[in-house]
Chain A
Amino acid sequence: MGLLSEGSPLSWPETKKLADHVREHGITQFINLYNLLKDRQGDVLKWGDEIEYMLVKFNHEEKKAQLSLRAQDLLPVLQITEKENPEKASSLWRPEFASYMVEGTPGKPYGGLLAHFNVVEANMKNRRKEVSALLEKDEHILSITAFPRLGCEGFCVPEAKPDPVNSASRSLFFPDEAIYLAHPRFRTLTRNIRERRGEKVAINVPIYKDVNTPNPFKEDLSALGDDGEKGKNALPDHIYMDAMGFGMGQCCLQLTFQACNIKEARTLYDQLAPMCPIMLALTAASPIQRGYIADTDCRWNIISSSVDCRTREERGLEPLKTNRFRINKSRYDSIDSYLSPEGNRYNDIPLVIDQEAYQRMRDAGIDHLLAQHIAHLFIRDPVSLFSEKVNQNDEEDSDHFENLQSTNWQTMRFKPPPPKSTIGWRVEFRPCEAQITDFENAAYACFIVLLTRVILTYGLNFLIPISKVDENMQRAQKRDAVLNQKFWFRKDLVAQNSSESTADSVGVEKDDVCIEMTIGEIINGKGDEFQGLLPLISSYLSSVEVDADTHCTIHQYLRLIQKRASGELMTIAHWMREFVTKHPDYKGDSIVSERINYDLLTTMDGIQNETIECPALLDHPRSKTQSSIPDPIRMAENCPSTC
């Protein structure tokens, strides 16, 4: 969840008063960083994955699975090696939004050798082992995106009651105890987002209408404390949720990689943006929400609504009076503009920017595309601020910049180097949902990083109008999008455009740069019309030296992607739906009972620890992952050990 400033959180009215201060200094800090680091060159590829995990407690007598609210007990222990002996830490642990979540990353980034792809899964396995060693009997760590009965009565242990009147979220379903309270940031964010918005957040996910689902589907929430006001935003035929925790309490898989310079970072940011919806659909893993089967497969729109701090004015429901802008999207959403000169012509959606911030950056010598990107992030207010961090040295600190940067949760993130560090310009890829096994998470991670190498090697161009990327984002979340949807994708990845023209001057031509294809066609190719991404990766791999174990592992990863894309293997979302609807306890009413939830999660746990085989999801994976790179490879590649 980005940077965590420690200290005493300010109230929303205090934070609001300081919003202009944070923005003004944030821009100064960015300008300083930019000027210092814009010419930084020659960084090698370093990359890392970031996985969020859930702690689940199984009650085998009562056949219950509950979220275990023990992250605050585990984290101090998990962080001991990092604190005492950072060089030796093989993984790093951070708190996440919920008190049943932990976030793990590799202790050091992976490097730019092909052989590094073979250590990713081993690192993930080791991470799981570190946590497992600290767990109680019947407590397990799962890398699942959505806990099926999140927000249902008794979903967590110790059990906690929601408090719709006094809690940070005012939720009818989600108690404050399920928020990670050992750090003040998360509760503060919850409260400030609600107060800024002027009401609690409203999340409505279409329900999957089965044979016995009531029509219309409408819940009686009075038993939970709804007095007619607290559940008023619930839509019929939707699963209604009303707290930040329903979104930020879901898990995902993210990747960050370092580019060799700012230009390459901008290129990768743009080129990967059209991949976000494709990867979201391929990793879909959240078809069950608050105990009901949803008619969607992904978490994205849910999180987007769960942190939507826009006021009614900003959302266009009331005339603008006290607010500065009409804002089209939540601060958690897909990106709104490309950053590279090649991408400029495809910037075809309206971009709301802070004009003053934009002008200051332009005056400081920052180009139009980067300045408008930052000025767009800076239309938001800070939603979390600590009294100790209000006054900063803009020459050395970047907290105010990071404050807004890290609370713009978009599909891609463009990351400047932190001040005074050896880290270069980086890009973060954020759409993927967390998968059940380390094998799958490693496969998707390696696929994306390999794709970046292929893009840079062949100079490929994936750009399409950004409005089409947004269309794809919505299609990606539909039920079984891999099987049923088509997606806009650039039809000729090889042809380059001249970089000068702008969106206005090429209105006609840009309409036919892309065509609609299935995910299977995009990934695996479509006859003579489209070569497919996997064939490009294979071609790349046959042109580099790969050691035998890495070759074997990558081959298995790519086969998973290939078969998931073609529909030969199920997405996790599809598999979960099937598990529930075929369960003997399921009554055809969209309800995922406590017992079904228990059986589903014990099965997922079994698949993860390889006691249950699930060929429909995974085939029979046998990667040759290992914890370190063979010496002769390291020596031959002439890379320092950190590389």
Chain B
Amino acid sequence: MTKGLVIHTGNILQLPDLKRKPGHTPADELYDALKIQLCKTLANGDAEILAPLELSSLLVPEERTSQKITVKLFLSSPQPEFIKTALTAALNDLGSTCADLFLISWPAGVSKEDGITLWNAMETVVDQELAYSLGISDVDTQAFVELHNSSRIKPEAIQINLESCCVVPPELVTFTRENNIQLLTHNDPQNILPAETLKTVIPSLQEVIWTVRYQTLLRCRGIIKNKGYVVSTYTA
């Protein structure tokens, strides 16, 4: 018998321990934030663990226009039905109705058909005004070009994992330049929260379904105001 459990980290910029131990990968950062959040014993039967009040990510309404909201989704398997759920969960934490940029970390080895269904679900959240623009990460150049050419709502940003090197495929550089696409970098692992890792914190965990990260940036000031994760899991 499994049941769903959704965990909200809240605004991890407010966690002193993470500021004292920065420079980790996003995976370490998420793991540390969850550990801190879950150190209180799990009450049996909880379906949702909310962030404590002092870590609230809620934007004051007048702050909304001065902040850029970016949401990035990590799916454990290419299941389009979770796209809207995950985005909404992130937006709810922020108290906002729409993300400026909604990125999806493209699941490894996704088939062409599954890819089309996934992107259709991404387009739907734009139709529903839950996101202004879409982006994608960790997709190879050819697949990206195909997706761009065949999609109704085009990705406006592609994120590539550069680690410490500066080599970008030249075809991708040309394509993004010709099509006015933002060529961005990230350092997220494909699997940002392996189930085995989370099991060390929640022994009853069976599966991670999706992870979503949000961050808000004060426009033209380069100051990050919020950064948090929402994780959806199955537990025994």
Shortest CB–CB separation between residue A546 and chain B, in angstroms? 6
A45 on the B face (CB < 8 A): yes
B152 CB within 8 Å of chain A: no
Smallest Cβ-Cβ distance to A538: which chain B residue = B23
Given A536-B22, A636-B101, A637-B68, answer yes or no on A546-B185 (Cβ-Cβ < 8 Å): yes
Residues of A within 8 A of B227 (CB): 543
Contacting pair B19 A637 (CB below 8 A): no
**Contact residues, B43-74 vs A (CB, 8 A):** 66, 68, 70
A460 near B19: Cβ-Cβ < 8 Å: yes
Task: Find the B residue at minimum CB distance from A552.
Answer: B166
A454 to chain B minimum Cβ distance, whole angstroms, is 9
A548 touches B224 (CB 8 A): no
Report the minimum CB–CB distance from A550 to chain B (whole Å).
9
In the complex, are the beta carbons of A544 and B26 less than 8 A apart? no
Determine whether B110 belongs to the interface, using a CB cutoff of 8 Å to chain A. no
Minimum C-beta distance from A79 to chain B (A): 29
- Given A545-B182, A624-B166, A633-B182, the answer on whether A457 and B20 have CB atoms closer than 8 Å is no
- Give Cα distance in the complex from A638 to B224, angstroms: 16
* Complex Cα spacing A494 to B187, Å: 25
Q: How large is the interface on A (under 10, 10 to 19, 20 to 34, 35 or more residues)?
A: 35 or more
Q: Chain A contacts of B224 at CB under 8 A?
A: 457, 540, 543-544
Minimum CB–CB distance from A491 to chain B (whole Å) comes to: 11
Query: Taking chain B's interface residues, is the majority helix, strand, or loop, or is none over half, making it mixed?
Result: mixed
Whether the Cβ atoms of B215 and A539 lie closer than 8 Å is no
When the two chains form their complex, are residues B220 and A551 in contact, meaning their CB atoms are under 8 A apart?
Answer: no
Are B222 and A113 in contact (CB-based, < 8 A)?
yes
What separation, in Å, do the CA atoms of A636 and B180 have in the docked complex? 10
| B232 surroundings in chain A (CB, below 8 A) | none
Judged by a CB distance under 8 angstroms, whether A542 is at the interface is: yes
Q: Are B23 and A112 in contact (CB-based, < 8 A)?
A: no
Q: Which of B100, B184, B187 contacts A548 (CB 8 A)?
A: B184
Q: Is the CB of B222 within 8 A of A547?
A: no
A493: chain B residues within 8 A (beta carbon): 19
A631 to B224, alpha carbons, bound, how many Å? Answer: 23
The verdict on B156 contacting chain A, using a C-beta distance below 8 Å, is yes
Give every chain B residue within 8 A of A540 (Cβ-Cβ): 224
- Inter-chain contact B182/A457, CB cutoff 8 Å: no
Report yes or no: B13 in contact with A548, Cβ–Cβ below 8 A: no
Contact residues in A for B186 (Cβ distance below 8 Å):
542
Contact status B181-A45, CB under 8 Å:
no
Q: A457-B223, A632-B180, A636-B101 are in contact. Are A544 and B217 (CB under 8 A)?
A: yes
Contact B20 A639 (CB under 8 A): no
By a CB distance below 8 angstroms, the chain B residues around A495 are 16
User: Would you give the shortest CB distance from A631 to chain B, in whole angstroms?
Assistant: 6
State whether B182 touches A539 (Cβ < 8 A).
no
A391-424 interface with B by 8 A CB criterion? none
B23 and A539 contact, CB distance less than 8 A: yes
With A114-B222, A643-B220 known to touch, is A539 a contact of B22 (CB < 8 Å)?
A: yes
The answer to whether B220 touches A639, judged by C-beta atoms less than 8 angstroms apart, is: yes
Contacts A531-B21, A545-B184, A551-B162 known; A113 to B220 CB distance under 8 Å?
Answer: yes
Give the chain B neighbours of A543 by CB distance below 8 A. 215, 224, 227
Contact residues in B for A458 (Cβ distance below 8 Å): 13, 19
Chain B residue at minimal CB-CB distance from A452 = B222
Of A531, A542, A624, the most chain B CB neighbours within 10 A belong to: A542
CA distance in complex: A632, B187 (Å): 21
Interface-central residue, A114, A539, A546, A631, by most chain B CB under 10 Å: A539
With A and B bound together, what is the CA distance between A111 and B219 in angstroms? 10
Q: Which of B157, B177, B221 contacts A545 (CB 8 A)?
A: B157
User: If A543-B215, A547-B185 touch, does A456 touch B166 (CB 8 Å cutoff)?
Assistant: no
Q: Which residue of A lies closest to B224 (CB)?
A: A457
* CB of B46, distance to nearest CB on chain A (Å): 29
> Which residues of A from 609 to 643 have beta carbons under 8 Å from B?
622, 624, 630-633, 635-639, 643
Residue of A nearest to B225 (CB): A457
Are A457 and B13 within 8 A (Cβ)? Answer: yes
Task: Verify A494–B219 contact, CB threshold 8 A.
Answer: no
Out of B23, B187, B220, B225, which one reaches A45, CB within 8 Å? B220
Contact yes or no, B221 A44, CB < 8 A: yes
Q: Which 7 A-B pairs have the closest CB atoms?
A: A535-B23, A539-B22, A552-B166, A44-B220, A112-B220, A551-B185, A453-B222
A residues bordering B, Cβ < 8 Å?
42, 44-45, 111-114, 260, 453, 456-458, 460, 492-495, 525, 531-532, 534-536, 538-540, 542-548, 551-552, 555, 622, 624, 630-633, 635-639, 643
Given A453-B222, A531-B22, A551-B162; 13 other pairs, CB 8 A cutoff: A42-B66, A45-B220, A112-B219, A113-B220, A460-B19, A493-B19, A494-B20, A536-B23, A538-B22, A544-B217, A632-B181, A636-B157, A638-B68
Selected A-B contacts with CB under 8 Å, 22 pairs: A44-B219, A45-B222, A494-B19, A494-B20, A531-B22, A544-B217, A544-B222, A545-B182, A547-B182, A547-B183, A548-B160, A548-B168, A548-B183, A551-B162, A555-B166, A622-B166, A624-B166, A632-B156, A632-B180, A633-B182, A636-B157, A639-B219
